[in-house]
Structures are given as structure tokens and as C-alpha cells.
A and B are shown apart, each in its own frame.
Chain A
Amino acid sequence: MIECCDLTLSYDQQPVLKQITLTLGKPGITALIGPNGAGKSTLLSAIARLVKPDSGTVLLDGEPVVGNQTLAKHLAILRQDNHMEARLSVYDLVCFGRYPHSGGRLTDEDLQKVAQAIDYLDLQPLQDRYLDELSGGQRQRAFIAMILAQDTEYILLDEPLNNLDMKHAVSIMKLMQQAARDMHKKIIIVLHDINFASVYADQIIAMKDGQVAYQGTPEEMITEPVMLDLYDLPMQIQQINDKPIAVYHL
């Protein structure tokens, strides 16, 4: 489990996280939703030690995280908007996902995990291409393959569906669901599309103004009053295949 205790963080005196106390990381998919600027990405970054909180602690399985190397074997994070200057091939990129486990010298087990990840994301036809030769969606899939190859218990993804068309967005979510079930991964995903959260998440945590506003199962969360309060936008909730689907486009 990941336990955040009193997590506080400000950028330029603008509070982004306000004393967040939260336990997350149950097996399965946890979706983090909320309006822009709610602090979702910052929370993920603080958990993964990419940003240092002003105060508060994060415990991973009951222990404060010390040492990057250890953390990288247990928790992986993919931020949004990744600009990679380095010109790497897809295959090399995915191989670097194994870096925390064996440095640069890959063992047979590493190579197997790399092949698996490439397989999982349908990247064989692209594996020798350089990242700067790919479209945004293809690149995103390559990054996700790298994170999967890292083979950590916890996976944090910050809006992984950005840049993806509907087909690939659905396939990534199905894949995450499958990874969560088959490999008991604990996946925490920031999602903008609340219907993806409704359909694929086991747990939803909603943030607003740097605080946790609501949390619960999709059935408890995707309701008209909660959505109205969260997004300040009236939505109609309809049941499709037993899942609450929000309609707000009209």
C-alpha cells in the first residue's frame, strides 16, 4: 500500500497539495480523476519522488522510501508529455525498463520481459524504429511498454491515454486491466475521461483544489451530484451494460 500522510506542496506560494492523507494502491486499477489543476499529477509525482513535498510523508508498504534503486524495482511512473531528446530505438527504450534490475547488462530473464512487453503493446513492427520517427500515440505505447518491462508492483500512469486514438485508448485500458488481474499489479492512473474510469477502474479517487474530494467504487462515484460538485458541470448518468456512463457532451 502507498500511504500519504499530510502531504503538502506549493508552487510559488500557490498551494497544489493541501495536507493530503490518503491510502491507495489496492490490487487492481485506481483511477485519479478531477478537474484541471486539482493536483492529480503532482500527487503522483510526489509519491514517486519526482518532486519533493514541502511537508508530509509517503510510505510504501509501511516503510519510508530511501534510495532510488530500491524504489525503481517496486514502483514505476510515466508522466504525461514526455519529450525525449535522446534518439533511441523502441527496442532499446524498452530494454532500459530493465535498468533498475540489472543495470545495462541484460540477462535472459530481462530479455524475456522486454519481448513480452513489446508483444503486449503490439510493437514488434516498430521495434527497430527510432522514437522520433513515430507518431505521438506510437511513442506513448513505447513508453508504456518500457514501464511494463520494468515489472514493478506499483505502476503510476499520468494521463496515459493522451495522444491515443479510441482504439488504442481502449486497448491500453484493457491491457492494464489484464495486467492488474494476471500479475496482481497495483495500477494508479490519472484519467480525464471519467467513463474510462467508470468502466475499467476498481476504485476511483476524485481530487479538487489540492484535496481528496471523494473516493469509492465507480458505482458510488459516477453519480450526478458527485460529478456536478466535482466538475461544476451537469451530467446525465446512464446505465450501459451495468456501468454508469456520464453524458455531458450535449
Chain B
Amino acid sequence: MIRATMLLALVALALASILVGVGDLGGAQAQNILLTSRIPRTITVMLTGTSLAIAGVLMQMLARNRFVEPSTTGTTESAMLGLFIVTVFFPGFSMMSKMLVASVFALAGTFIFITLIHRLPLRSPVMVPLVGIMFGGIVGSGVMFFAYRLDLVQSLGIWMNGDFSAVLKGRYELIWLVAVLCGLAYWLADRFTVVGMGRDFASNLGLNYKWVMAAGFSLVSMIAAVTLVIAGVVPFLGLIVPNIVSRMRGDNLRLSMPWVALLGALFVLACDVIARLLRYPYEIPIATVVGVIGSVLFIYLLLNPPRKKGVRA
């Protein structure tokens, strides 16, 4: 029932997303506008939402912490560093190669983050994302320093502020890759759930813990890199959507991942339509809208922890 309603809302919002815009769909250019801009944009928005939400839930299972997602673990900033380096030194690279370099950097950054949190004696789960945000801040300011020296602060600004207005036919096709990555994540869902049960449980069940961790972090890094190259940073998404779904449907990823995917697409689609309507005919970057709505939702989630019926052992 809820799922049907959500699917219906998704279709309605997707239609709205296709219909919203300055160009007139009644004119002779209608087909061109639809195929070149509107439909690619709607597809990109939905896939970005879905994949970032899945990246968030994967990260949370792998790190066993509710407050991590690529933008609170230094993953996104590391991807940005990779993208920056490749833009400066190899400007002729294709989008695909740029994305791959960014993925490798994202993976390396995630690895450093994981090493950091294993080395530091962290008493509270909230410390984990704080360390990640600090680490991301250091990487990010390094990028900023060189961007400033090389007069590239503007390009950096574009990456840092997620925005779908530049999505056009011929410049967005790479986003289909995240659909494949999400499919892979779903295929491996049981393994990620077992990893989320903790190292001892996972080993007891015969899971190759390290291998699954590596596979999971690779998926997360690639999703972060692709969405960064296509749309820029969209904050909070990977934090809110999985937390909401976890409360309603639990963490058995085989069951919950479709919900995460659906709600992620729905959330970003709604934010994108709002971003385009608020100052119509201009638009504000979606990262701003997601940031505002997302932070309010996140504070709400923090202030209302799930009820525990039993006694904590």
C-alpha cells in the first residue's frame, strides 16, 4: 500500500519534473527540449537520488555507524581532489576517465578514513562522522588552496554545489553507470547485511569480511565519483533516507534497499522541482534545497530516536 503510493508519487513527480521549465513544450521545439534536456535531467535526478541513498546505507552498514555517508567520511572530498588533479593535469581526459580517477581517489580517501577510525579510541558513535568531516575538511581545503592558486575556484564551486541545470543529452549518459552499481549493491545485499552484523558474526557465518568490505567501499566510491562528475555534491541525502527507512523497515538490505532507492529518488526529485520553482524562471542549486530540508529532517531524526521497548543489556 505505502509502496504503491510512493511509486505513484514518484511517477507524478517525474512528470512534473519533465513539465517544469522555461522552454515551451507546446512549440515546435518540444521534442528537442524533451529529449535533449528535460528527460535526461529527470533521469539524472532520480538516479542520483537513488544511488546516493544506497551509497549512504552501504556506508552505514560497512562502518556500522548511523551517521556516515560519503560526505561525512572524506569520500566526496577525496573524489573532488581526484577530479581536480585530473582537470589540471589532464584536461583532455574523457568524462569516463575523469570519473575513474575520481573513484580511485575516493576509494583511497575512504580507506584512510577507515584506518583513522580504527586507530583512534572513539567513545561515541557521533565521533566517527566528526572525524570524517574533519578529514574531509582537510582534503577539501587542500583542493581549495590549489584551486585558488590556479584560478579554478569557480569550477570547484560548481562541483561543491550540486546542481542539475547543466545536465544535457551527451553530458549525462555516465549516470547510467550508477544504475549498474546500484544493481550490484542489491545483488550483494545479503553480504552487506551480514557485514553490518559485525566482524564476529560475519566471520562466524563464513563471510570473507575483508573482501566484502572492499567491494562495498568500491561501490560507494564509484557512486560518489559519478554523481560528483555529473551533478556535484548533494549533501545529507545518504544520511536521511537510510535512517528513515531503517526505522520503518529495519536493516535487512534485501528488504530495505528497494525502499531506500525509492525514497532517495523521490526526495531528490521533489527537491529539484522545488529548486526550479522557487525563483521561477531562475533556479537555485539543488544542494541548497536538499541542505535546508535535509538538515531540518536530520535534526528531527536526532531529537526523536527510535523507541526502545526493552532494556539495554
Contacts and interface: CB of A to CB of B under 8 A. Distances in A.
B250 interface: yes
B310 A84 contact: no
Given A86-B193, A136-B310, A99 B206 contact: yes
B198 A132 contact: no
A159 B259 CA distance: 38
Given A86-B251, A87-B251, A73 B193 contact: no
Nearest to B255: A92
Interface in B188-208: 189-191, 193-194, 196-201, 203-208
Nearest to B63: A85
A88 B250 contact: yes
A152 to B, nearest CB: 10
Contacts of B200: 50, 77, 79, 82
A202 to B, nearest CB: 24
A146 to B, nearest CB: 8
Interface in A92-138: 92, 96-97, 99-100, 103-104, 129-130, 132-138
Main secondary structure of the interface of A (DSSP, over half): mixed
Contact of B204 (A72, A85, A138, A139): A72
Contacts of B45: none
A86 to B, nearest CB: 4
B246 interface: yes
Nearest to A99: B205
Interface string B292-313: 0000000000000011111111
B93 to A, nearest CB: 39
B252 A88 contact: yes
B189 A86 contact: no
Contacts of B190: 96, 99, 103-104
User: Of B190, B250, B307, B313, which is in contact with the most chain A CB atoms at under 10 Å from its CB?
Assistant: B313
B206 A100 contact: yes
B58 to A, nearest CB: 12
Contacts of B252: 86, 88-89, 92
A69 B191 CA distance: 13
A132 B189 contact: no
Given A69-B206, A79-B200, A85 B65 contact: yes
B205 A150 contact: yes
Interface residues of B: mostly helix, strand, loop or mixed? loop
Contacts of A103: 190
Contacts of A132: 306, 308, 310
A103 B190 CA distance: 8
A68 interface: yes
Given A104-B254, A135-B313, A139-B310, A85 B198 contact: yes
B308 A68 contact: no
- Please indicate which of the listed interface residues A100, A104, A150 has the most CB atoms of chain B within 10 Å of its own CB: A104
Given A85-B65, A92-B252, A76 B198 contact: no
A48 interface: yes
B61 interface: yes
A26 interface: no
A78 B64 CA distance: 19
A238 interface: no
A78 B203 CA distance: 11
A86 B196 contact: yes
A89 B206 contact: no
A85 B196 contact: yes
Interface in B11-31: none
B245 to A, nearest CB: 10
A194 B197 CA distance: 31
Contacts of B247: 87
Q: Give the top 10 A-B pairs by smallest Cβ distance, nearest first.
A: A72-B206, A136-B313, A104-B190, A135-B310, A86-B196, A69-B206, A100-B206, A86-B251, A87-B251, A68-B206
Given A136-B310, A138-B310, 5 more contacts: A85-B66, A96-B190, A132-B306, A133-B309, A135-B310
18 contacts: A68-B206, A69-B206, A70-B206, A72-B205, A72-B206, A76-B204, A83-B198, A85-B64, A86-B64, A87-B250, A88-B251, A96-B190, A99-B205, A100-B205, A104-B190, A133-B308, A133-B309, A137-B313
Interface of A: 48-50, 68-73, 76-79, 82-89, 92, 96-97, 99-100, 103-104, 129-130, 132-140, 147, 150, 163
